[in-house]
Structure 1
Amino acid sequence: MDAGNSAKETVLITGGGGYFGFRLGCALSERGMDVILFDVSKPVQEMPEGMTFVQGDVRHTSELERAVRGVACIFHIASYGMSGREQLNHKRIEDVNVRGTENVIQTCKKNGVSKLVYTSTYNVVFGGQVIENGNELLPYLPLHLHPDHYSRTKALAEMKVLEANGTFFEDGQGVLRTCALRPAGIFGPGEQRHLPRIVSYIERGWFRFVYGDPGSLVDFVHVDNLVQAHVLAAEALGAPQGYIAAGQAYFISDGQPVNNFEFFRPLVEDLGYAFPTLRLPLSLIYFFAFLTEMVHFVVGRLYNFQPLLTRTEVYKTGVTHYFSLEKAEKELGYKPEQSNLKEVVEWFKAQGHGCKPRTYTLKHLLRHTALILLFSVVLLLWLPKTVRGSDRET
């Protein structure tokens, strides 16, 4: 994907209608490539010249095949079940993340697509255990130990992508080269999956405590750094000096491990809200998340119930896990730019967010009362278990 060849190259991005997929598409288009955004939903932003949107679903091979004619590289970003109540829809997670990935691989080999870059996740090796400066030599977390179906299926999909490296096209006239990038939590102005949910909790007055060890550290990655990593990975797959990235996985982050809640402090305070001083035990919040997941399974579909947190989100935000960038820096030439939440805060302010005088309605009162009651029940159920555990230790 160097400048000399980029004008002749067409790339396809599954999940191209989403936040990161669209940003990647814009970056590739600026480099002179023809970009096809493949997704079930069209981007909300206006597409620049040189980009084409094709509506389709990775669960349907026929729809993929209609879009890949002449494509040299696929960036497979599309996935389902990363956060919130989506994490609890096991069937769709399996269909999109595993069978969808199998369809992408099959489509590459059938249609002569020579490069496949897969967007994976830290979660393929992480399941709630402490990891400090981990690297790519860490084994996959055993599938039965994954605390959520999304992480399990992403691990399966990554395995399939890397196993497909070096396999021949169906016509025998070429070889598929593949690699996987494992990003940390993505942030940037306009991100639509995680940050709006966090801001909504802040504005509703639900962000009243933090949890876990104040010294716990996690990674984040700015969207532009993740774009850079994907461009470099595709270039490395086609590098004449030996397909550097072929069959490899890489952790990708900003390289600045930070406490999860301290990372979001500027977002809370610059929007005019008080940062919580109450810190609760991680085990209590995990138990709370477990019970809210159970509530979702019972009444979620009837009442459109959104869990405040899932168990996986508790681990991801409260347990130390960060990774070395040495392999990505050495083999891909990855050099993350330093970043912070300043531009994110400005984006939310421009959308009208920020602390305003509150007017409490009956709906607000009922909502807060329900949360207090639910948390009181959790506390009453959790305390006896904690006491029993302490008794056993003594």
Structure 2
Amino acid sequence: MDDRFTDLNPKTKTCVVLGGRGFIGKSLVLRLLKLGNWIVRVADSTHSLQLHSSESLLAEALSSSRASYFHLDVTDKHRVAKVLEGSSVVFYMDVDGISYDNDFYNCYKLIVQGAKNVITACRDCKVKRLIYNSSADVVFDDLHKGVKSSAYQWKVDNILIDLKAHAEALILDANDIDGVLTCSLRPSNVFGPGDTEIVPYFLKLARYGFTKFIIGTGDNRSDFTFYENVAHAHICAEEALNFQTVSVAGKAFFITNLEPMKFWEFLSLLLEGLGYQRPFIKLPANLVQYILSVLMWLHEKLGPRCFSYPLLVRFLQLASHTQTFNCSPAQKDIGYSPIVSLEEGVTLTIESFAHLAKDSSFSRCSGCVDRSKADKLLGCGKVADILLWRDEKASFTYFLGLFFLFYWFFLSGSSLISSGARLLLLATLLLCGHGFLPSKLHVLPVSNFKISDTVVKDSVAITVHLWNKGFQNIKGLAQGDDWSKFFKVAVLIYLLKLILSKFLTTLIGTGLALAFMVFFVYEQYESEIDGLAGILTTSLKEFTIYLMRNSPLFVSRLLHYGDNFQRS
């Protein structure tokens, strides 16, 4: 350690916060700096340190050498040892760069192998204390039975939780080897400003309309933890390891806000605070369990492509089972107690996610960046909101209106001209009747029937442009300028004739029904459908290669020509 650091405070200690730019890591770094007796090394997978305006304390500490930043890949054991050298305490937070779409090998390297490298570096660098940020989910047993215990799960559906339990076990087993004292904290359902998992996922479900459903009776209780309380718990654990070694070292402690509450009440507070409707429709738990079993089957078939499945499982765990934990050992042995109440934490969280509120214009304008493929395909506008059932009343109204027009023009038995004339007559009668009503009873204001001069001019200009362009194309076809275009148009017209004469009604009816179903279903199961499409595409390519290798020469040439034509 640099000698200049010792002049700041005779009791100054040097620590490393692995994952110091993560959700909880940022809060821990700021709390350590506020204490004034820590030299903080912030280590994270981010290549460069980009500070926000709210991190003025960290910026000041960096300029005064009370803090420093290191880019770190935990799979590089030599780099880990270099960062940890000279420190007395290591806070091992959540590893950045891991998501549900990572394959098993990458997750294993980052979580388990990373934990092994940290343990080895702590022993080699004579680190005195190692505190690991684990999760309460590592001991939540069976999703179907809702059982929790202090033992690790023998079978889990979430690969990240399984590997995190493995890493925690390695760290606890390394306690008091070569002088390194270890312990683990298991926070439950951490939330707060900057959350990238729980709150954003709840809001995503709310935008899709899923959070109006209550699974089961709605009486299940859960423990939630505000993120600043988790950071505070790490500091308590470090002090306890330093003074109460026997009761803390080698042990794991549950960390919560000590205020268990009904899950659906917690969700309702968040949703109502951001302008969404609170859950009110109850669904049988057995029905949801059946749907979950189907998703399990898809997950097994599609493998790592189905990365949204673990998030859904975690939500169903919270939504349908009681999940509370005993924090008495943490209170007794490490002296932990929450510094931010649950009510205050919810309020702060709602304020920080105001840009994602239901009526937020910013959310609607910037949402296309993070929205689904179906939403982007539909333009992230009003059409997308209708076809994706964002507003059920509006979507249902449009569906009924379009179905009425379909019936009026195609199923009523009249010709298109007769149906159009009758519809025009009906609209005229309604407007005339509306005009005779008193002004107080007018449903439609007069301004709705006015069209601005700009709109009329633009419409006329577009119509004239399309007319002239169409006339030029027809003139070119008549003079024989482009025979390729002529044959394409001829084939298209012939196919259109067949469709109009035989399949028009069926195609329009089918298209109307699918428009309000296909995009909605695709958005909900985007990863699963993309995974299945990828499997089918790969299988088709392999089958084509097999045919080309085992077919006669003229067939192989034909297939090769068709493949090149499709690519062009």
User: Which residue in 2 is equivalent to 1:278?
Assistant: 281
Q: Given that residues 61 and 104 in structure 1 are in contact (C-alpha distance below 8 angstroms), is that contact kept between their aligned partners in structure 2? A: yes
- Sequence identity percentage: 26
Aligned equivalent of 1:90, options 93, 101, 104: 104
- CA gap 1:246/1:212 in 2 versus in 1, 3 angstroms: same
- CA gap 1:6/1:344 in 2 versus in 1, 3 angstroms: farther
Shift of 1:354: 3.5
Q: Greater relative contact order (Cα 8 A, min sep 6): structure 1 or 2?
A: 1
Please state whether the residue corresponding to 2:353 is helix, strand or coil: helix
> What do residues 287-343 of structure 1 show as CA deviations (whole Å, max 9, x unaligned)?
4345456656777988x9745943243224421121111111111111124222111
> What do residues 196-237 of structure 1 show as CA deviations (whole Å, max 9, x unaligned)?
232233234443322133111111111121111100101111
Separation in 1, partners of 2:20, 2:170: 21
Shift of 1:16: 1.0
| Greater Rg over alpha carbons, structure | 2
User: Which residue in 1 is equivalent to 2:44?
Assistant: 39
Q: Relative to structure 2, which stretch is displaced further, 89-98 or 287-296? A: 287-296
Q: Given that residues 6 and 31 in structure 1 are in contact (C-alpha distance below 8 angstroms), is that contact kept between their aligned partners in structure 2? A: no
Higher helix share: 2
Separation in 2, partners of 1:182, 1:6: 33
User: Which residue in 2 is equivalent to 1:16?
Assistant: 20
Aligned equivalent of 1:74, options 77, 85, 90: 90
Separation in 1, partners of 2:94, 2:387: 38
User: Which residue in 1 is equivalent to 2:33?
Assistant: 29
Please state whether the residue corresponding to 2:111 is helix, strand or coil: helix
- CA gap 1:336/1:95 in 2 versus in 1, 3 angstroms: same
The answer to whether structure 1 residue 323 and structure 2 residue 325 are counterparts is yes
Separation in 1, partners of 2:275, 2:331: 38
> What do residues 227-286 of structure 1 show as CA deviations (whole Å, max 9, x unaligned)?
1110010111111x5454111111110111112221021221122221121122334334
User: Which residue in 2 is equivalent to 1:156?
Assistant: 166
- CA gap 1:91/1:371 in 2 versus in 1, 3 angstroms: farther
Separation in 2, partners of 1:6, 1:37: 22
Shift of 1:159: 1.1
> What do residues 159-187 of structure 1 show as CA deviations (whole Å, max 9, x unaligned)?
1111100101xxxxxx0100011110111
Q: Relative to structure 2, which stretch is displaced further, 6-15 or 56-65? A: 6-15
Please state whether the residue corresponding to 1:113 is helix, strand or coil: coil
Q: Given that residues 103 and 304 in structure 2 are in contact (C-alpha distance below 8 angstroms), is that contact kept between their aligned partners in structure 1? A: no
Separation in 2, partners of 1:355, 1:207: 17
Alignment of 1:333-344 (within 5 A): 333-337=335-339, 338-340=341-343, 341-344=346-349
Shift of 1:25: 0.7
Q: What amino acid is the match of 2:336?
A: Y
- CA gap 1:59/1:284 in 2 versus in 1, 3 angstroms: farther
Q: What amino acid is the match of 2:137?
A: N
- CA gap 1:71/1:317 in 2 versus in 1, 3 angstroms: farther
RMSD: 3.2
Separation in 1, partners of 2:302, 2:388: 16
Q: Given that residues 140 and 153 in structure 2 are in contact (C-alpha distance below 8 angstroms), is that contact kept between their aligned partners in structure 1? A: no
The answer to whether structure 1 residue 248 and structure 2 residue 264 are counterparts is no
- CA gap 1:110/1:25 in 2 versus in 1, 3 angstroms: same
> What do residues 123-171 of structure 1 show as CA deviations (whole Å, max 9, x unaligned)?
221122435xx7xxx442343x222212211221111111100101xxx
| TM-score normalised over the length of structure 1 | 0.80
Q: Given that residues 264 and 279 in structure 2 are in contact (C-alpha distance below 8 angstroms), is that contact kept between their aligned partners in structure 1? A: no
Runs of 5+ unmatched residues, structure 2: 1-7, 365-379, 390-516, 526-568
User: Which residue in 2 is equivalent to 1:115?
Assistant: 129
Separation in 2, partners of 1:72, 1:335: 25
Aligned equivalent of 1:167, options 163, 177, 202: 177
Separation in 1, partners of 2:156, 2:520: 30
Q: What amino acid is the match of 1:167?
A: I
User: Which residue in 2 is equivalent to 1:382?
Assistant: none
| TM-score normalised over the length of structure 2 | 0.57
Count of aligned residue pairs for this structure pair = 357
Q: Given that residues 81 and 93 in structure 1 are in contact (C-alpha distance below 8 angstroms), is that contact kept between their aligned partners in structure 2? A: no
Please state whether the residue corresponding to 2:113 is helix, strand or coil: helix
User: Which residue in 2 is equivalent to 1:188?
Assistant: 192
Please state whether the residue corresponding to 2:121 is helix, strand or coil: helix
Separation in 1, partners of 2:30, 2:92: 16
Q: Given that residues 219 and 255 in structure 1 are in contact (C-alpha distance below 8 angstroms), is that contact kept between their aligned partners in structure 2? A: yes
Q: What amino acid is the match of 1:268?
A: L
Separation in 2, partners of 1:326, 1:130: 22
Please state whether the residue corresponding to 1:86 is helix, strand or coil: coil
Please state whether the residue corresponding to 2:201 is helix, strand or coil: helix
Shift of 1:97: 1.6
Please state whether the residue corresponding to 1:130 is helix, strand or coil: coil
Aligned equivalent of 1:130, options 142, 146, 163: 146
Q: What amino acid is the match of 2:192?
A: G
The answer to whether structure 1 residue 147 and structure 2 residue 152 are counterparts is no
User: Which residue in 1 is equivalent to 2:206?
Assistant: 202
Higher strand share: 1
Q: What amino acid is the match of 2:168?
A: E
- CA gap 1:212/1:7 in 2 versus in 1, 3 angstroms: farther
Q: What amino acid is the match of 2:107?
A: I
Please state whether the residue corresponding to 1:310 is helix, strand or coil: helix
The answer to whether structure 1 residue 100 and structure 2 residue 114 are counterparts is yes
- CA gap 1:318/1:371 in 2 versus in 1, 3 angstroms: farther
Runs of 5+ unmatched residues, structure 1: 169-174, 378-394
